Structure 1
Amino acid sequence: MTRASYAADPAHSRGREFALDERATRGPRSAFQRDRDRIVHSIAFRRLRHKTQVFVAPDGDHYRVRLTHSLEVAQIGRTIARALGLDEDLTEALCLAHDIGHPPFGHAGEEALNGALAGHGGFDHNAHTLRTLMRLESPYCDHEGLNLSWELLEGLAKHNGPVIEPSWALAELDAMCPLALRDWPSLEAQVAALADDIAYDNHDIDDGLRAGFLVLDDLLMLDFVADQFREVERRFPDAPRERQLRELVRGQIGLMVNDLIGETQARLAGGGIETIAQVRAAGRALVGFSPELEARERTLKAFLYERLYFHPEQRATAERARAVIERLFAALAADPAQMPPSWHEALPAREPQRSRHIADFIAGMTDRYAIDTYHRLFGEIPEGLRNV
């Protein structure tokens, strides 16, 4: 497919933090294809298969985890990118990498680490994604990190828009590899951010209904969802309810994707956007939903927070998970020798680097490794961390 003039072009990439030895290139891949492949082959990406998406350490094989969510985001992102003439490989790489910085137990783990580092700059999973990819995951002999393209790093740093006050982690990395944090990111990064919203808005409905935390009758109080479901019933009146619900989710995703493509094309045409420089200087997001669907999406998010994410059982599980991470941090801070030798031997002597190093170790844990480490340190398995 022809690349649009406002798309990111791997042939004109701003390069990488560390220069590549072109003699060592493997296969006919663009810069962004190499980014995607480095992410897919990383340990940090593999760990996402055992990290919380909505439900903590789920026993059921059918529930989503960070890895399956990231794959679903990438599928949606590539579809949108192709329709808009954007670089699909960069979009896919951004989608696959966007959640790598999440600690065990999702946002509960993030809150615990943020509290543990309250006097040392705090913890933010978005910045930790960059920290992981640029420093912590270092499989190469001649440089730190995965040495990804500037466009990928910029997109991960700013996928939610310009960053005016970066966290300590992002500020440190930006000082070493300037990412133009105050500019708007590429359209590929903007697509990745909205593909994430589309995926979790709808797939969390699927998982919530499956787990019994959401009730269809409550969901149908949202008029636009009820309209979709009535259409499903009209088309498939004799289908089992489970299949009708899956069709509802697919229909919702299609509706949101088509709306976003149409609205984005209108914004690009209306703004006379022809180059990526104009995208960065636009002063606003160019990828987005129509005003009507944007309002509906906000309503859906509010519903999911009230009925699913803040469900009493979910909140109780999250509180227990947060306590696990708090106790792990305190125990490792008191006796760092409990960390693996490679981590203990690299422990900085001074603060804030010392506490940040311990947080790096914990943030890389999967849910089950955190539970196993807790068991090893305290001689007990934390109860109530699996609610599905």
Structure 2
Amino acid sequence: MRRLAPYAADPARSRGRLHAEAGGETRGPRDAFQRDRDRIIHSIAFRRLRHKTQVFVAPDGDHFRVRLTHSLEVAQIGRTIARALDLNEDLTEALCLAHDIGHPPFGHSGEDALKAATADAGGFDHNAHTLRVLTRLETPYPNWDGLNLSWETLEGLAKHNGPITNPTWAMIETDAEFPLDLGSHASLEAQIAALADDIAYDNHDIDDGLRAGLIDLDEVVAQPLVAPGWAAVTARHPAISGPRLVAELVREQIGRMVTDLLATTRARLADLRPDSVEAVRAAGRTIVGFSPEMAEAERSFKRFMYARLYHHPSQLDVAEKAGRIVAALAAAYRADPALLPVHWRETLPDAEPARTRHIADFIAGMTDRYAVARHREVVGPVEMPDGL
């Protein structure tokens, strides 16, 4: 068995689960974090990610990323980093796979619309909703709601982007039931999940953006984050161009960012010398990260991608239509809850804000195409790209 660093998360020392479980002798030789990963993979919410927007709403080609394929790519990068740092790969993978489960249909445009539609009930936040899905809304077990994940997995999902200083209502509810020490930093495995997410979408959005014809290769390779990698791949392969060279560029970029992260993180660990995962949480700072130069280049690249890809006129047009769908569904169901499916109607709370939050739970669980179908059913026709 591979030896883990003393500051790695250890399933044998887990803080446990909210609900006590009997021994798992009949469920195979898995530790707590392996069970968490498998519960996430087998969940309905995870399966729905295959029909939820990553960047492109209802992409008209089979080669674009969706939330599911993005999550798998994040997990692959996360496991690689965790192994190199002698950290727990299974916890890292679980966090990477689950980090987007709380996203509503249509990505950030859907989230913005749902947040506005539920402002009088506390609003909506996809990260807090991930916890709500995994602790309340998934119900595969006979004796409790949720997947009953370990404390370390829930903590990592709550705090992978850092301490929570201003939790939303959904996070407050989860924390009240199973306190997650929201004010501290999370494990190194959770910190890896956050950066693996950045590495994945920074680079795979290059591939998808070029494939869609919405960004220009010459502009992309002029960016400080990309220019060194482009110089390297064109020097190695002077006779190659087109998609093969772009694929090599994406691999080069991921490798460069991972290598930089590993070197920076190892230097920080050598400086801090944490002797346990608790020392990591008490460090008062994020340990996993890029060098200052890479971090600045990465921020600059994000600004470029927002200007050129995410806020491209064609993207904004579809996003605006998608937001209207979510807003119209929220308004329709709040005005007439009888329009809800039987299960959701029968379990609708009597009082606010729980009533509106229940409706938001239903909408947030929708895939893109299901949201369009429900809009056509309860509101009316809608113009969206082919495939919805």
| TM tier, smaller | over 0.9
* Paired position in structure 2 for 1:261: 262
Residue 24 of structure 1 and its aligned partner are, at CA, apart by 6.0
Gaps of 5+ in 2: none
* Paired position in structure 1 for 2:289: 288
2:303 is matched by which residue type in structure 1?
A: A
Describe the superposition over 1:281-319 as per-residue Cα deviations: whole angstroms up to 9, x where unpaired: 000000000111111111111111111111111111111
* Paired position in structure 2 for 1:125: 126
Per the alignment, do residues 224 and 93 of structure 1 end up closer, same or farther by CA in structure 2, a change over 3 Å counting?
A: closer
Residue 378 of structure 1 and its aligned partner are, at CA, apart by 3.0
Name the CA distance, whole Å, in 2 between partners of 1:286 and 1:25.
Answer: 39
8 Å CA contact 2:92, 2:189 repeated in 1: yes
Name the CA distance, whole Å, in 1 between partners of 2:372 and 2:25.
Answer: 41
Residue 25 of structure 1 and its aligned partner are, at CA, apart by 4.8
* Paired position in structure 2 for 1:157: 158
Name the CA distance, whole Å, in 2 between partners of 1:149 and 1:205.
Answer: 35
8 Å CA contact 1:56, 1:386 repeated in 2: no
* Paired position in structure 1 for 2:202: 201
Name the CA distance, whole Å, in 1 between partners of 2:128 and 2:24.
Answer: 32
Name the CA distance, whole Å, in 1 between partners of 2:224 and 2:157.
Answer: 34
* Paired position in structure 2 for 1:324: 325
8 Å CA contact 1:55, 1:387 repeated in 2: no
* Paired position in structure 1 for 2:383: 383
Name the CA distance, whole Å, in 2 between partners of 1:176 and 1:21.
Answer: 21
8 Å CA contact 1:56, 1:387 repeated in 2: no
8 Å CA contact 2:51, 2:67 repeated in 1: yes
Residue 64 of structure 1 and its aligned partner are, at CA, apart by 0.2
* Paired position in structure 1 for 2:354: 353
Name the CA distance, whole Å, in 1 between partners of 2:60 and 2:175.
Answer: 40
Residue 260 of structure 1 and its aligned partner are, at CA, apart by 0.4
Describe the superposition over 1:73-113 as per-residue Cα deviations: whole angstroms up to 9, x where unpaired: 00000000000000000000000000000000000110011
Describe the superposition over 1:111-160 as per-residue Cα deviations: whole angstroms up to 9, x where unpaired: 01100111111100000000000000011001110000000000000000
8 Å CA contact 2:328, 2:379 repeated in 1: no
* Paired position in structure 2 for 1:186: 187
Residue 42 of structure 1 and its aligned partner are, at CA, apart by 0.2
Describe the superposition over 1:322-379 as per-residue Cα deviations: whole angstroms up to 9, x where unpaired: 0010111111111212211000000011110000000000000000000111111234
Question: In the alignment, is residue 78 of structure 1 matched against residue 79 of structure 2?
Answer: yes
> Mean Cα displacement is larger for which, 93-102 or 293-302?
293-302
8 Å CA contact 2:136, 2:145 repeated in 1: yes
* Paired position in structure 2 for 1:106: 107
Question: In the alignment, is residue 363 of structure 1 matched against residue 364 of structure 2?
Answer: yes
Matches within 5 A, 1:16-27: 16-22=17-23, 25-27=26-28
Name the CA distance, whole Å, in 2 between partners of 1:243 and 1:97.
Answer: 31
1:279 is matched by which residue type in structure 2?
A: V
> Mean Cα displacement is larger for which, 194-203 or 332-341?
332-341
Name the CA distance, whole Å, in 2 between partners of 1:238 and 1:339.
Answer: 59
Per the alignment, do residues 255 and 105 of structure 1 end up closer, same or farther by CA in structure 2, a change over 3 Å counting?
A: same
Per the alignment, do residues 24 and 169 of structure 1 end up closer, same or farther by CA in structure 2, a change over 3 Å counting?
A: farther
* Paired position in structure 1 for 2:38: 37
Matches within 5 A, 1:191-340: 191-340=192-341
1:149 is matched by which residue type in structure 2?
A: S
8 Å CA contact 1:321, 1:385 repeated in 2: no
TM-score by length of structure 1 reads: 0.98
Per the alignment, do residues 59 and 36 of structure 1 end up closer, same or farther by CA in structure 2, a change over 3 Å counting?
A: same
Name the CA distance, whole Å, in 2 between partners of 1:85 and 1:19.
Answer: 29
1:127 is matched by which residue type in structure 2?
A: A
8 Å CA contact 1:55, 1:386 repeated in 2: no
> Mean Cα displacement is larger for which, 122-131 or 311-320?
311-320
8 Å CA contact 2:135, 2:145 repeated in 1: yes
Name the CA distance, whole Å, in 2 between partners of 1:316 and 1:323.
Answer: 11
Name the CA distance, whole Å, in 2 between partners of 1:200 and 1:187.
Answer: 20
Residue 230 of structure 1 and its aligned partner are, at CA, apart by 2.3
Residue 227 of structure 1 and its aligned partner are, at CA, apart by 2.5
Name the CA distance, whole Å, in 2 between partners of 1:255 and 1:180.
Answer: 34
Name the CA distance, whole Å, in 2 between partners of 1:51 and 1:227.
Answer: 33
Matches within 5 A, 1:54-73: 54-73=55-74
2:120 is matched by which residue type in structure 1?
A: G
Residue 226 of structure 1 and its aligned partner are, at CA, apart by 2.4
1:193 is matched by which residue type in structure 2?
A: A
Name the CA distance, whole Å, in 1 between partners of 2:316 and 2:56.
Answer: 11
Gaps of 5+ in 1: none
> Mean Cα displacement is larger for which, 224-233 or 355-364?
224-233
8 Å CA contact 1:317, 1:387 repeated in 2: no
8 Å CA contact 2:225, 2:298 repeated in 1: no
Name the CA distance, whole Å, in 1 between partners of 2:84 and 2:333.
Answer: 49
| RMSD value, Cα | 1.3
8 Å CA contact 2:224, 2:301 repeated in 1: no
Give the 3-state SS of the residue equivalent to 2:226 in structure 1: helix
Name the CA distance, whole Å, in 1 between partners of 2:184 and 2:340.
Answer: 40
Name the CA distance, whole Å, in 1 between partners of 2:25 and 2:135.
Answer: 20
Name the CA distance, whole Å, in 2 between partners of 1:385 and 1:181.
Answer: 40
Question: In the alignment, is residue 142 of structure 1 matched against residue 143 of structure 2?
Answer: yes
8 Å CA contact 2:225, 2:294 repeated in 1: no
Could you list the structure 1 runs, at least 4 aligned residues long, displaced by more than 3 angstroms after superposition: 384-388
Over the matched positions of the two proteins, sequence identity in percent amounts to 64
Name the CA distance, whole Å, in 2 between partners of 1:254 and 1:335.
Answer: 52
8 Å CA contact 1:86, 1:188 repeated in 2: yes
Residue 177 of structure 1 and its aligned partner are, at CA, apart by 0.5
